[in-house]
């Protein structure tokens, strides 16, 4: 797993777990880099779909 600096992380929360403090496995935000493609995942390797999938052409990961 690639470590991403905190200020460069996506930080998305799992749907339904956005509210409240980032405490508990289900509220841990995405640790992937900002602007990443594909699923979000957290430090526990829980994955969830990215609802803002970029389908624009010309974007390379």
| Cα 20 to Cα 11: distance, rounded to the nearest angstrom | 14
Site for Zn ion, residues 12 to 41, rule: CB under 5 A: 12, 30, 32, 40
**Residue 9 DSSP class:** B
Q: Euclidean distance between the first and final Cα of the chain, in Å?
A: 16
- What minimum distance in Å lies between the beta carbon of 58 and Zn ion? 21
Coil, strand or helix at 27:
helix
Choosing from 10, 13, 14, 42, the residue that interacts with Zn ion (CB under 5 A) is: 10
- What minimum distance in Å lies between the beta carbon of 2 and Zn ion? 13
Residue numbers at the binding site for Zn ion (CB under 5 A): 10, 12, 30, 32, 40
């Amino acid at each position: 797993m690639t470590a991403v600096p905190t200020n460069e992380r996506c930080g998305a929360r799992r749907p339904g777990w956005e509210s409240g403090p980032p405490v508990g496995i289900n509220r841990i935000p995405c640790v992937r880099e900002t602007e990443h493609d594909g699923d979000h995942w957290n430090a526990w390797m829980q994955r969830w779909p990215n609802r803002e999938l970029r389908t624009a052409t010309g974007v390379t990961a």
